[in-house]
């Protein structure tokens, strides 16, 4: 296979500019991929009369805040609508005015609609309100200059935005009937081992899916989840940080549950029950819970419990091994990445891997090329990762909430002791600790690491 061709494309002269605008493209066969360009050239590519590149448009609107502001982008799009013809003879000029310019104008209107419907900033501010007012004035003026129905649709969307209403088009998807909950005999006196593992997994999934569904696209940009709230700036990624806290709480709870049992046999039963919960979470495509539960089981205070692990049943170990294999760190977590690639919504991914990838892309790629062009390749990689997160949120879970179980689990998670504070309790239960050489049979051996290291590296919060 030959190397992709890299070509430089200059704009069509459809702007009032004093110097040509540059766009660097790479061609893989017949597919054109934008690698870099000036801001004006990128905006022109966004509104080309002869081609619609949906992938480019999604990437641009997902990441435009990295290289421009909403106000500047709006001004450029309005300028694009009012573009002047390039230097042409009389016949070509007439053809450009009657055939090309109307297409450019319609493309600008459609691009503005896409921006408002799917990518407009969620936060209300003076700047966003001003931009809406400018856009409203422009749309009223544009009614006479382009297709009236398209402009009227744009005005309707603007008015909904000004009123604070949602503008997204929601598809009607058929949701299957939820399975009947598996309830314990006494809902007023709940104990972990008395609650069916499948129902625990379902309720945990409902709780986490609710939080995952709230994650906004902008929260995954600019490493916002690493930035703390201050007296002058609000928390930039509240929903991502809530998911991080939940994942850590779930790992802490797993560790707390195991060490809460002084009896060796019951402690082993707790491990087995947790493995069954993790396995059902895997079946529900709740990979985040699988990672958190295994991270708890592989934490140092649990990993060292040699007597406990030696009594874990072979059936439990057989259930646990494929879960461990799925989240193995080999080849940059390739097995897990392959699983996610094939997954369909509803699905809850482990967010830590996405945060890790986003961090590496942010830190490992410059914002501009040596020529001073916007490095659009960087933003394509960022957008691709963010779109994968969004894809997995597209359908809800057909599960029924059980308020009593939800309250029990929420209380348990919030009161769980931090893993790092449980070492002494682990040593008190089994003073001798792990001695792999004396294991009675070749059962599951936790690695003491796996995704746990990634939880610490990518999802720790400095609260």
Question: Would you give the distance in Å from CA 142 to the centre of its chain?
Answer: 36
| Strands laid side by side in the 31-37 sheet | 5-10, 22-28, 31-37
Distance CA 67, CA 62 (A): 11
* Distances, alpha carbon 398 to alpha carbons 69, 195, 287, 347, 410, in Å: 40, 20, 17, 12, 20
Distance CA 88, CA 136 (A): 33
Q: How far apart are the first and last CA of the chain?
A: 50
- pLDDT the model gives residue 165: 76
Total Cβ atoms within 10 A of residue 191: 9
Distance CA 111, CA 105 (A): 10
Distance CA 136, CA 113 (A): 12
8 three-class SS: strand
- pLDDT the model gives residue 463: 53
* Residue 145: partners with Cβ closer than 8 Å, 6 or more residues away: 81, 105
- pLDDT the model gives residue 461: 54
Number of H helices, E strands in the chain: 20, 3
- pLDDT the model gives residue 172: 46
Total Cβ atoms within 10 A of residue 72: 13
Q: In this structure, are residues 201 and 286 in contact, taking their beta carbons and an 8 Å threshold?
A: yes
Averaged over successive runs of 10 residues, the pLDDT of the chain (463 residues) comes to 51 41 84 93 93 93 96 95 87 88 93 94 80 93 80 92 73 70 90 96 97 94 87 84 94 96 96 98 97 94 93 95 93 93 94 94 96 96 96 93 96 92 92 57 42 44 53
Helix (H) or strand (E) holding 222: none
Cis omega (within 30 of 0) for bond into 346: yes
Residue in 278, 400, 416 with CA at minimum distance from that of residue 350: 278
Q: In this structure, are residues 374 and 37 in contact, taking their beta carbons and an 8 Å threshold?
A: yes
Q: For residue 41, what are its two tokens?
A: 């050239």
Total Cβ atoms within 10 A of residue 440: 7
């Amino acid at each position: 296979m030959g190397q992709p061709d890299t070509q430089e494309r200059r704009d069509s002269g459809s702007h009032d500019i004093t110097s040509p605008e540059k766009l660097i493209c790479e061609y893989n066969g017949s597919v054109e991929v934008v690698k870099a360009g000036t801001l004006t050239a990128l905006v022109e590519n966004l509104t080309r009369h002869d081609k619609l590149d949906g992938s480019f448009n999604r990437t641009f609107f997902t990441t435009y805040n990295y290289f421009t502001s909403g106000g500047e982008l709006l001004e450029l799009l309005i300028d694009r609508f009012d573009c002047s013809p390039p230097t042409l003879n009389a016949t070509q000029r007439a053809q450009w005015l009657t055939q090309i310019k109307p297409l450019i104008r319609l493309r600008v209107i459609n691009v503005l609609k896409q921006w408002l419907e799917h990518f407009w900033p969620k936060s209300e501010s003076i700047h966003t309100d001003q931009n809406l007012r400018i856009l409203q004035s422009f749309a009223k003026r544009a009614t006479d200059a382009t297709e009236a129905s398209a402009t009227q649709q744009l005005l309707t969307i603007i008015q909904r935005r000004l009123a604070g209403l949602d503008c997204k088009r929601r598809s009607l998807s058929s949701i299957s009937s939820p399975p009947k909950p598996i309830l314990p005999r006494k809902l007023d006196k709940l104990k972990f081992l008395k609650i069916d593992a499948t129902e625990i997994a379902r309720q945990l999934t409902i709780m986490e899916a609710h939080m995952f569904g709230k994650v906004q696209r902008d929260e995954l940009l600019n490493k916002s989840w690493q930035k703390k709230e201050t007296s002058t700036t609000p928390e930039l990624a509240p929903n991502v940080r809530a998911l991080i806290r939940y994942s850590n709480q779930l790992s802490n709870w797993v560790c707390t549950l195991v060490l809460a049992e002084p009896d060796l046999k019951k402690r082993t039963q707790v491990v087995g029950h947790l493995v069954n919960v993790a396995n059902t979470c895997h079946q529900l495509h709740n990979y985040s819970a699988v990672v958190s539960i295994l991270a708890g089981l592989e934490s140092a205070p649990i990993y060292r419990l040699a007597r406990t692990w030696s009594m874990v049943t072979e059936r439990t170990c057989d259930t646990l091994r494929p879960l461990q294999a799925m989240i193995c760190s080999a080849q940059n977590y390739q097995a897990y990445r392959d699983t996610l690639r094939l997954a369909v919504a509803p699905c809850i991914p482990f967010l830590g891997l996405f945060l890790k990838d986003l961090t590496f892309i942010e830190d490992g790629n410059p914002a501009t090329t040596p020529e001073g062009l916007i490095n659009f390749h960087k933003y394509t990689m960022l957008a691709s990762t963010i779109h994968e997160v969004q894809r997995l949120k597209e359908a809800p879970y057909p599960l029924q909430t059980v308020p009593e179980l939800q309250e029990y689990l929420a209380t348990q998670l919030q009161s769980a002791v931090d893993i790092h504070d449980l070492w002494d309790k682990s040593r008190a239960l089994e003073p001798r600790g792990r001695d792999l050489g004396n294991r009675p049979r070749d059962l599951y051996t936790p690695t003491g690491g796996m995704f746990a290291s990634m939880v610490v590296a990518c999802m720790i919060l400095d609260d």
